[in-house]
Amino acid sequence: MAFRRVLLAGFEPFGGEQVNPSHVLLRELGGERISGHRIEPLCLPVNFTRAGALLCDAIDACRPQVVLCVGQAGGRSRLSFERVAINLIDARIADDEGLQPTDCPVVMGGPAAYFSSLPVKRMQAACHAAGVPAELSFSAGSYVCNAVFYQLMHHIRTAPAENCRAGFVHVPWLPEQAIHHVQSASMSLDLLCKGIGIAIESALLHTEDGSIIGGNEH
C-alpha cells in the first residue's frame, strides 16, 4: 500500500573503517515493521556525485511517508538528531572516488539551508525516555552526509515527494571501531537499533512541530 513505508538510508564504510554503524543498522532494521510501516533499507556510497541522486530516486520509487537518513559521526557519544542541512561542501577527506570538493554549494542557487521536517525534539525525548542517549545537533558537517541531507530536503520540496517528511541522524562509532581511536565514545548495536526504532516510531506519530498526527490537540 502506498505511503506505508519508511525509507531508512545508511552509508558504506569510509575513512579507513571496516564498518559503518549506519550500514549495520540497515541489516538489523531492514524489512521490519514499525507502527504498521515497512522499513525499506537503502545503502548509499560515500560519494558526492552519486549518493544524493540514489536517495532521491529511491524516494520517488518507494514513496515513503518518512525518510530517515543515518550516518556515522565518529567521536560523538549520542544519537545526534540533525536540525539543519547547509548548502556547503567543504570535504575534509576525499570521497570513495577520490573527489574532495571544497568551498562549493551542494545545489547551485539553492537556499542557504533547510531544516529537518522530522519532530527532532520529540524523537530525542522518546529516546531519553527509553534510556538511549540522544541530542540535538546544529551541524551535520560539510562532508557527504550534510550534502545528502541537503539534497534530501531539497528533493522533498518537489511535487512527487511532497507529502514525505525527512531528516538526518548521526550516530556514534560501534565499540569495535572506538577502541582504535583516542576519542573513544561509542554506542552498542543493540542500543543503536533501539534508539533508531524509537525515533522512527516518534517520527511517524508527530508532525515537525511535535503535534500528534491525526490528533486534534492545539
Active site residue ranges: 82, 145, 170
Sign of CA dihedral 82, 85, 91, 92: negative
**Sole binder of ligand PCA in the list 37, 56, 72, 134 (CB under 6 A):** 72
**Nearest CA among 133, 82, 124, 85 for reference residue 105:** 85
Interface size with ligand PCA, residues (CB under 6 A)? 12
Residues numbered 4-33 forming contacts with ligand PCA, rule: CB under 6 A: 11, 14, 20, 22
173 binding ligand PCA? (CB under 6 A) = no
- Whole-number minimum distance, CB 73 to ligand PCA, in Å? 5
Taking CB under 6 A as the criterion, the residue among 41, 52, 71, 167 binding ligand PCA is 71
By CB under 6 A, is residue 145 in contact with ligand PCA?
yes
What does the binding site for ligand PCA look like in residue numbers (CB under 6 A)?
A: 11, 14, 20, 22, 46, 71-73, 141, 143-145
